[in-house]
Structure 1
Amino acid sequence: MKKHLIDLEKTGQFSSFFLDYIQGKEELRPFYRHLPKLGSFRDAIKDKKFTVEKRKVLCRSLENQYEGISLFEEEKKQLNRLASENTFTVTTGHQLNLFTGPLYFIYKIVSTINLAEKLNKEYPDYHFVPMYWMASEDHDFDEINYFKLDGKKYSWQSDQTGAVGDFKLDATFKEFLKSVSFAPEVFKTAYSSSKTLKEAVRKYVHDLFGEKGLLIIDGHDVVLKAEFKEVMLEDMLNHGPHKAATLKTESLESLGYGGQIFPREINFFYLKEGLRERIEQKKDKYYVLNSDLTFSEEELKQEIENHPERFSPNVVLRPLYQEMILPNLAYLGGPAEVVYWLQLRGVFELFDEAFPILLPRNFALILGEDVQRKIQQLEWTAEDLFGDLDRWRRDFVCKHAQEDLEMTVEREAIESLFDARGESAALLEKSLKDSFEAAKVRAFKILDHMGHKIRKAEERKQKVMLDRSVAVEEYIKPGGSPQERVVNMMQFYLADEELIEKLFANFDPLDFRMAVLEC
């Protein structure tokens, strides 16, 4: 792979909020603890308090979660290392998209594994384990039930409800699987041998990345949720997280930054088979929306004590949950994720939990051979790929036009004629000057109309190159969105099974630039 690196601000794909953060803008310092730099990890290690008992709980949970899976040697070593107080994690997380969903699912994990490797070299007295957090408790099925490949959308339709990780891979899924017979064996084996969606995702992520030492954690676990009871009680009874997150959000908004997430008074869902619904308080009762379930305060406390696994944190508290059950130092995410964490530092302070280093995942644009040829024919550079296509089209047509599309000579002649005649006519009658000025405007409009016709003729003449530019634009921004947020990894993996290894070789988790990769 040949690599070109482009400054993120030149791509036009990122908010000023995100760019200000990674550039270390001073006014954002109250919203994070450490700068996203390699040297910050020594201080982050000092900040992190993770007890021996918590490690035992974590290791026991992971052993149970991996039951029935044949582990790679590196995975076994990582599980053993987690029992040691000098072992820490770096984590990314994502939804359970079918067949990995968009490319950036893969980019997140590769970035995280590379970061752990870099840290292990930089800090040899410690060990760092890359983790993938499965968002198995999400319930927005429409966000994850499809993937896009070569411009076509492949989707699984199901009427199941509740947490998507618990969705059964039933007859409807088996029928859907027949429609993607081209999929690599790693996916077909994972899905065909699993009963639930989260089981399948664990299997294929394990097969793709287990040899690199990645560990997979599912937070939907009774022993892990038991570690979160204090937060459940504080949130639902006293609404402390809502107050803390709201204060930080208002502080950000006062600086001109818009919030990404919106804290609620209660930031938990109630979770049972087929059900994941918000909890709301009305007077002295707690209601599970869209159900008949209600609790008094005492009943709610008892339910938390006996069944903590039935309470699922929303986006405000999920990051805190992750940090309380892992010896974690850094979270790697996309631009929106990194930004919304900045609203949450107050929540972490409320529970005296260390705030992790926030790092953006790597960003990339992959170019296949066909599109590379088109780009060469257009004589575009890597930076040109992120330019304004409409402006390029206008400039290209003007540059290669046989006629002067602006009709400069004609405009000057008309202006000179009407101005001169208007001045002389004004000597006869003053109002005639205005008449000549109005006539000049009408003449310019006629000229503009004819110029538009000439431009269209020139565009038809330059059709091959203009169509080529449109094809390149659609390739790098399918449907108007960046490639990495739309296209599935199979678009490249099917042609090159070394794709992931090549990403490992080309991604630097501490280089915050866009990588344009020619494959």
Structure 2
Amino acid sequence: MDIECLPFDRTGYFTDLICDYISEKETISSLFNRYPRLENFEAQIREKATNYPDAYRDILYTVLQDQYRGFEVSQETETHIKKLKEPITFTVVTGHQLNLFTGPLYFLYKIVSTINLTLELKKAYPKYNYVPVYWMATEDHDFDEINYFNFKGKKIQWNKKDGQEGAVGHFSTEGLDEVFETFADQLGNSDNANHLKTLFQDAYLKHDNLAKATRYLANELFAEHGLVILDGDDKRLKKLLIPYAQKDIFENLSFQKVSETVKGIENLEPSYGIQVNPREINYFYLKEGLRSRIVFQDDRFYVLDSELQFTREELEREINEHPERFSPNVIARPLYQEVILPNLCYIGGGGEIAYWLQLKEMFAALKVTFPMLLLRNSVLIITEKQNGKLKKMNLSVQDIFLKRSSFINKKIREISNIDIDFEPQKRLLEEQFKALYDLAGQTDKSFLGAVKAQEVKQKKGLDNLEKRLLKAQKRKLEDHVTRMTEIQNELFPNQSLQERNVNFSELYLELGKELVPLLMKSLHPLQLEFSIIKN
């Protein structure tokens, strides 16, 4: 196994905001609390320890005990759950949707990053305990985002929603037997294929809703590493959120603070895009089959797409009596997580880190400790066969990360038996025109414009000749171009990162139970570089 690393800003797949965050650019330092360096965690531990009530630990422990009832719990996970009752225990969290059969590969990378960071923290600060937590996004309601996964270029999709609405964690798994049949037909009958079939069956055909199925699946993949899986859709946990939900709904505090931050980000140089915009009310009303926004109009609170409406007094009573019916949106959910967990760090993808960076002032106003933010590990896994192809065509890691046209043009120039680079001719042309500029200046300066136009015309002519020659060479080397683009397509499906398209099952067919240990060994969350693993 060989591992190469590439700076994120040289991959071409990460935004300026994320690259500037990684490089600790001073202009955005106000958007985060502490930068995720190992030496900064000591101060984060001290701050969180003084801002997390011990009473919350008992509630969290009881909820987790209930949520794991009926599941086989590893010794490592059971130990972690018990340690959460101790004041010296803290968490590192990642979160993800309930994607069918984990969805894209980065689901695994998020969790591996989280587990590995807890191991690094234990070495650096051994007097504390650290628990890796996967927060299941059970209250999401966008079924179309999670009802499929890609396998060998084909979409394996769960089409039968059967009128189910509301939080996806409640969705019945009925009908997934048809998805299993489709998937099984494409897997083959190797030992690894048969294990994948069993894993899918046990997760989705033996559990009655999507939350339980996802818990089973994540637990099977990571239980031996002590992963703790938490579902925030619980009345006892939501009760801790009541004062914060009230400030959001009745005072619009979150809207005000995040809007101020958004305005500040928009005024930065360079200009960064805004990931999410806050709403005046950042909560949904949640009941079986319903998850709809709460809005305030004409002195009343309405639940969209329903006939429900409340006066302020009625809604205050509803929050206090039924906190489980109030579901935070993308702005409020991070706050909920940090209220109920003794958390130090959130690990997420680029889009997640971007919206977390909009929230610091909201946390400060609500007196909740803002976590450290860490970009998850990103990975390209190259199989032995694929690596052989790259070597045969003399393609480097830097080459395959280039955009398609740049990739082809660069390699055609390298392998061509003629020099398709007209830069020397352009420089020579510039020298010749320099003499013409001098001559025109000495005789009639009105000719300077004509000389300039002729220079532009000549350079454009050279550019066109260079492009035509390059195109001719591409035709001549068509076979080589085809093989180059084929291997790039394998590694970057749809000209996007492998981790955003490919499901773990494709790699599991080849690596089997060695897949997760390989990732655990190879990924270093605080390294903050893109990892290329050549197996």
**2:296 is the counterpart of 1:294:** no
Note the alpha carbon deviations across 1:254-291, whole angstroms, 9 max, x for none.
11332211000000011111111111100211111111
Change (3 A) 1:462 1:234: same
CA distance in 1, matches of 2:272, 2:425: 49
AA aligned opposite 1:336: G
AA aligned opposite 1:273: E
Note the alpha carbon deviations across 1:26-65, whole angstroms, 9 max, x for none.
2222221111111111111111122121111111111111
Match of residue 275 from structure 1:
290
Match of residue 489 from structure 1:
504
AA aligned opposite 2:534: E
The alignment's TM-score, normalised by the length of structure 2, stands at: 0.88
Change (3 A) 1:408 1:194: closer
Match of residue 240 from structure 1:
253
CA distance in 1, matches of 2:496, 2:250: 42
Shift of 1:407: 8.8
Match of residue 478 from structure 2:
463
Shift of 1:409: 12
AA aligned opposite 1:511: Q
Note the alpha carbon deviations across 1:144-185, whole angstroms, 9 max, x for none.
1111121111110124211111110113x2212211113602
Shift of 1:411: 11
The one of 89, 92, 114 aligned to 2:91: 89
Match of residue 23 from structure 2:
23
Change (3 A) 1:266 1:23: same
**2:167 is the counterpart of 1:163:** yes
Task: Answer yes or no: is the 8 Å Cα contact 1:138–1:163 preserved in 2.
Answer: yes
Note the alpha carbon deviations across 1:176-232, whole angstroms, 9 max, x for none.
221111360223211111000110000011111111111000000010001101111
> What secondary structure does 1:179 align onto?
helix
**2:75 is the counterpart of 1:73:** yes
Task: Answer yes or no: is the 8 Å Cα contact 2:409–2:470 preserved in 1.
Answer: no
Task: Answer yes or no: is the 8 Å Cα contact 2:420–2:470 preserved in 1.
Answer: yes
Task: Answer yes or no: is the 8 Å Cα contact 1:22–1:36 preserved in 2.
Answer: no
Range that drifts further, 175-184 or 10-19: 175-184
Task: Answer yes or no: is the 8 Å Cα contact 1:87–1:327 preserved in 2.
Answer: yes
Match of residue 437 from structure 2:
none
**2:64 is the counterpart of 1:55:** no
Change (3 A) 1:144 1:454: same
Residue correspondences, number: 508
CA distance in 2, matches of 1:387, 1:400: 17
Range that drifts further, 315-324 or 370-379: 370-379
Shift of 1:392: 3.7
Match of residue 335 from structure 1:
350
Match of residue 129 from structure 1:
131
Task: Answer yes or no: is the 8 Å Cα contact 1:87–1:127 preserved in 2.
Answer: yes
The alignment's TM-score, normalised by the length of structure 1, stands at: 0.91
Match of residue 237 from structure 2:
224
CA distance in 2, matches of 1:233, 1:411: 68
Change (3 A) 1:327 1:370: same
User: 1:77-476 alignment to 2 at 5 Å?
Assistant: 77-157=79-159, 158=161, 159-171=163-175, 173-181=176-184, 182=187, 184=196, 185-255=198-268, 256-401=271-416, 455-476=470-491
CA distance in 1, matches of 2:26, 2:327: 35
Match of residue 5 from structure 1:
5
CA distance in 1, matches of 2:465, 2:424: 14
CA root-mean-square deviation: 3.0
CA distance in 2, matches of 1:444, 1:340: 45
The percent of aligned pairs where both chains have the same amino acid is 40
Change (3 A) 1:406 1:83: closer
User: 1:38-53 alignment to 2 at 5 Å?
Assistant: 38-48=38-48, 49-53=51-55
Shift of 1:384: 2.0
Please list every run of 5 or more consecutive structure 2 residues that lacks an aligned counterpart in the other structure: 188-192, 431-448
Shift of 1:460: 2.7
AA aligned opposite 1:236: I
Match of residue 419 from structure 1:
none
CA distance in 2, matches of 1:403, 1:110: 48
Change (3 A) 1:179 1:227: same
The one of 488, 513, 518 aligned to 2:529: 513
AA aligned opposite 2:248: D
Change (3 A) 1:490 1:447: same
CA distance in 1, matches of 2:92, 2:75: 20
CA distance in 1, matches of 2:293, 2:264: 27
Shift of 1:338: 1.1
> What secondary structure does 1:139 align onto?
coil
CA distance in 1, matches of 2:9, 2:518: 25
Change (3 A) 1:407 1:333: closer
Match of residue 426 from structure 1:
none
> What secondary structure does 2:118 align onto?
helix
AA aligned opposite 2:342: P
Shift of 1:374: 1.9
Bigger Rg, structure 1 or 2: 1
Note the alpha carbon deviations across 1:439-496, whole angstroms, 9 max, x for none.
9999999998887666444323312211121112212221121111111111101111
CA distance in 2, matches of 1:438, 1:35: 52
CA distance in 2, matches of 1:114, 1:170: 36
> What secondary structure does 1:180 align onto?
helix
